[in-house]
């Protein structure tokens, strides 16, 4: 039996302890000191996909930015996952099974490929598909819809048989087609059409006229429904611009949602494909802005039987699951309390909803629950499946609704896939092992959940990491880590997202070098309810940034921290706060690292990709110049007094690379170049993905902090 190492499973009703072992690797294995090279070997699983018979699980295992497909046999969970693909770069996304589970399809480089599960052989599913994308298998399992780039320009929506090469293109759009969703009876396909990508070029004077930077603007398209057979015509759905997720309620109705351009209204609609008309099923109106993160799963999700629609709302100040009749009517609240319930998923029989949630006492932990609906949401009952430290997220039902596969992390274990029966007192079964075998997990430092006074006296939560066996009679260096995204958080252990899990692993490396690490959940962070998330309204870069840098004051109060050797660093929003910290408090930190941080929110607002998001929080520069002034650390870069390392990828669209170009220009103009080191990574995205980029970045950060904070003193 493979279950979580030394993890005590305590059920909701009883509390028996269950300690399980895992072969040769694990806590009892040989100790191996963590190095940057070892960090590169930690993998991250994602996108588990059940086979129709429930016998197999396919998933993507990311290793150094390369995501290959692997296969698990759920009948023999002790067996190692079998590798199915051998990519040298990139990620596999969009895989799907055929009807009987004998074939696994996946798109790659514009073609569809198939793997025979019995022998693992890979072959092209069809040589005639050409450059295609958006592959989607019909519910009947007999046809595959896909989008092909048209030689005449634009795109075609085409259909072919699973076992034949005959193809029929049923719709052409001169701009684009995407987001294909089959109706339950396999007779219609809903899709997005007409969206255009507009490229805006920039050649700012501070960069010179030889290099052109681009900003991408994506125009809103329209929703259409096409019949698979019959006349080649479509029904245009009367959906408002900017509509989001689209799902079928039944064979003739759709559910979709939309977030208004000002981020204040979130609306769920129903649409009848007979005439394309829509009507409102539910609406949330916010005083400030819709602050729920995308990963919460707020989009409408019809039950498989078409009777109900669930969604996540923060109407009472906390993210909770609601269920309403698909035909419309009052929504019933399924969860209740001062916690956040996310990622709900219907069982195939429409009788239960699986989800994960934290608790008021443990905002950094997440546990799995099942809500038994049984046709009556007003009398739903809850079953808790997991407990203990760490996070259990994203449950996915097996085809027979008896089990759930999910992701688990904790202070000693990075993300892995687990299996658990959907009943009380069930024991989890470990399916993957993403860490090198010889790493001693017991060497990893568990964070302590603490609080400290932030801006205007508000109490700010944070996570303190203290190296094992630290000599507390001496003074040691410390590093403040500021998480990115704004609406994100730190967890009680490895981060649930691969993008931030790599930072958690690097912090474990820094702890072994002798640093204390502190990670604040400044106002704006998730995990603590709507009021904490929205506390940044009209104050981005104000009190939230102060919360972050004031964690240094907390560290200074610890007798074993050297107040003159505290560093700070952060990614994205965290890089932005880092720049604010070193310009607002020039001597508070001995050294700082900015990873792809925003340097001026007025510049960020001008980007079409980010303008509405920015305006929803702080209005426009014309409306609130004082707020934008606070959100412009580049305006105060002349105050920089301590060493600063800047890292940025040239392919970044979250925070365009041009932000750091402008920052470097301003630093040089203010004669601060002697304080700054800069490294750009060609072709790298916002979250550093590729192994060679991460290796270089972590090595630079390690040497930079070592040179300035002197951990060996």
Domain-located, residue 131? no
The pLDDT-based confidence of 166 (bands split at 50, 70, 90) is: confident
Domain-located, residue 461? yes
The pLDDT-based confidence of 127 (bands split at 50, 70, 90) is: low
Q: Give yes or no: residues 450 and 315 share one domain.
A: no
The pLDDT-based confidence of 129 (bands split at 50, 70, 90) is: low
Residue whose entry in the numeric block shows the structure tokens 């995501």: 67
Q: Give yes or no: residues 604 and 691 share one domain.
A: yes
The pLDDT-based confidence of 303 (bands split at 50, 70, 90) is: very high
In sequence order, what are the residues at sequence separation of 6 or more whose Cβ sits closer than 8 angstroms to the Cβ of residue 670? 637, 638, 640
Dig out the tokens for 601 from the structure: 């929110």
Q: Give yes or no: residues 356 and 427 share one domain.
A: yes
The pLDDT-based confidence of 10 (bands split at 50, 70, 90) is: very low
Q: Give yes or no: residues 413 and 386 share one domain.
A: yes
| pLDDT at position 242 | 87
| pLDDT at position 34 | 87
pLDDT exceeds 70 at position 491: yes
| pLDDT at position 636 | 96
Q: What is the mean pLDDT of residues 453-471?
A: 95
Where among 398, 415, 444 does a domain terminate? 444
482-491, 561-570, 600-609: least confidently modelled range:
600-609
- Tell me which of 242 and 569 has the higher pLDDT: 569
pLDDT exceeds 90 at position 697: yes
The tens digit of pLDDT for each residue in 307-361 reads: 999 999 999 999 999 999 999 999 999 999 999 999 999 999 999 999 999 999 9
Helix pair angle (691-709, 498-512), 10° resolution = 40
Q: Give yes or no: residues 475 and 596 share one domain.
A: yes
Cα dihedral angle (498, 503, 507, 508), rounded to 10 degrees?
A: 20
Q: Give yes or no: residues 382 and 465 share one domain.
A: no
Can you name the residues that pair with 53 across neighbouring β-strands?
Answer: none
Is the C-alpha dihedral spanning 603, 606, 608, 614 positive or negative? Answer: positive
Q: Are 52 and 101 in contact (CB under 8 A)?
A: yes
Where among 418, 444, 470 does a domain terminate? 444
Residues of the chain with pLDDT > 70, as a percent, come to: 95
For residue 698, what is the enclosing H or E element?
Answer: helix 691-709
Domain-located, residue 607? yes
2-16, 120-134, 296-310, 660-674: least confidently modelled range:
2-16
The pLDDT-based confidence of 290 (bands split at 50, 70, 90) is: very high
Domain containing residue 599: 445-708
Q: How many domains does the chain have?
A: 2
Give the CATH number of the domain where residue 605 resides: 3.40.50.1820
pLDDT exceeds 80 at position 388: yes
| pLDDT at position 12 | 32
Domain-located, residue 57? no
State the Cα–Cα distance between residues 55 and 53, nearest whole angstrom: 5
The tens digit of pLDDT for each residue in 213-251 reads: 998 888 989 999 999 987 668 999 999 888 988 999 999
Domain-located, residue 142? no
- Tell me which of 608 and 640 has the higher pLDDT: 640
Q: Are 474 and 560 in contact (CB under 8 A)?
A: yes
């Amino acid at each position: 039996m493979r279950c979580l190492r030394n993890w005590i499973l305590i059920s909701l009703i009883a509390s028996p302890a269950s300690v399980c072992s895992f072969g040769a690797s694990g806590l009892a294995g040989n100790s191996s000191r963590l190095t940057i090279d070892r960090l590169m070997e930690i993998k991250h699983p994602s996108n588990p996909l059940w086979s129709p018979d429930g016998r197999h699980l396919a998933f993507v295992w990311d290793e150094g930015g390369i995501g290959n497909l692997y296969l698990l046999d759920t009948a023999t969970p002790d067996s190692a996952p079998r590798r199915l693909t051998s990519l040298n770069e990139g990620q596999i996304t969009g895989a799907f099974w055929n009807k009987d589970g004998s074939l696994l399809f996946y798109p790659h480089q514009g073609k569809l490929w198939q793997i025979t599960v019995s022998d693992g052989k890979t072959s092209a599913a069809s040589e005639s598909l050409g450059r295609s994308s958006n592959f989607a298998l019909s519910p009947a399992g007999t046809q595959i819809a896909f989008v092909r780039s048209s030689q005449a320009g634009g795109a075609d929506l085409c259909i072919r048989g699973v076992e034949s090469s005959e193809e029929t293109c049923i719709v052409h759009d001169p701009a684009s087609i995407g987001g294909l969703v089959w109706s339950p009876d396999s007779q219609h396909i809903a899709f997005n059409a007409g969206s255009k990508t507009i490229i805006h070029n920039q050649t700012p004077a501070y960069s010179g006229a030889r290099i052109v930077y681009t900003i991408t603007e994506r125009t809103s398209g329209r929703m259409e429904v096409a019949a698979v057979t019959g006349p080649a015509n479509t029904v245009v759905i009367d959906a408002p611009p900017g509509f989001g997720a689209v799902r079928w309620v039944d064979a003739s109705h759709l559910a979709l949602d939309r977030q208004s351009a000002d981020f204040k209204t979130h609306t769920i609609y129903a649409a009848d494909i007979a005439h394309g008309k829509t009507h409102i099923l539910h609406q949330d109106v916010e005083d400030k802005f819709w602050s729920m993160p995308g990963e919460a799963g707020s989009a409408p999700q019809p039950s498989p039987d078409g009777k109900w629609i669930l969604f996540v709302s923060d109407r009472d100040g906390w993210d909770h699951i609601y269920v309403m009749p698909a035909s419309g009517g009052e929504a019933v609240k399924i969860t209740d309390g001062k916690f956040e319930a996310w990622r709900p998923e219907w069982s195939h029989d429409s009788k239960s909803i699986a989800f994960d949630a934290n608790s008021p006492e443990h905002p950094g932990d997440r546990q799995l629950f099942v809500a038994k609906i049984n046709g009556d949401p007003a009398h739903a009952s809850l079953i808790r499946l997991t407990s203990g430290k760490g996070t259990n997220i994203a449950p996915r039902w097996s085809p027979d609704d008896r089990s759930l596969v999910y992701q688990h992390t904790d202070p000693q274990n990075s993300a892995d896939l687990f299996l658990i029966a959907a009943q009380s007192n069930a024991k989890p079964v470990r399916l993957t092992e993403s860490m090198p075998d010889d790493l001693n997990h017991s060497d990893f430092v568990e964070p302590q959940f603490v609080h400290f006074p932030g801006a205007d006296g508000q109490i700010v939560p944070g996570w303190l990491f203290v190296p094992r066996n630290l000599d507390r009679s001496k003074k040691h260096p410390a590093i403040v880590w500021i998480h990115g995204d704004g609406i994100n958080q730190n967890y009680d252990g490895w981060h649930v997202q691969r993008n931030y899990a790599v930072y958690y692993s690097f912090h474990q490396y820094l702890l072994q070098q002798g640093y204390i690490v502190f990670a604040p959940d400044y106002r704006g962070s998730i995990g603590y309810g709507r009021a904490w998330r929205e506390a940044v309204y009209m104050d981005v870069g104000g009190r939230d940034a102060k919360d972050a840098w004031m964690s240094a004051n907390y560290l200074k109060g610890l007798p074993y921290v050297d107040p003159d050797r505290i560093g700070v660093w952060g990614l994205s929003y965290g890089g932005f706060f880092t720049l604010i910290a070193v310009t607002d408090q020039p001597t508070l930190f001995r050294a700082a690292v900015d990873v792809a941080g925003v340097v001026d929110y007025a510049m960020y607002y001008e980007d079409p990709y980010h303008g509405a998001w920015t305006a929803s929080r702080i209005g426009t520069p014309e409306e609130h110049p004082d707020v934008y002034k606070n959100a412009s650390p580049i305006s105060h870069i002349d105050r920089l007094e301590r060493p600063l390392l800047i890292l940025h990828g040239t392919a970044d669209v979250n925070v365009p690379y041009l932000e750091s170009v402008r920052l470097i220009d301003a630093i040089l103009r203010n004669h601060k170049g002697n304080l700054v080191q800069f490294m750009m990574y060609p072709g790298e995205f916002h979250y550093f993905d590729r192994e060679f980029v991460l290796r270089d970045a972590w090595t630079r950060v390690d040497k930079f902090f070592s040179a300035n904070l002197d951990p060996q003193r």
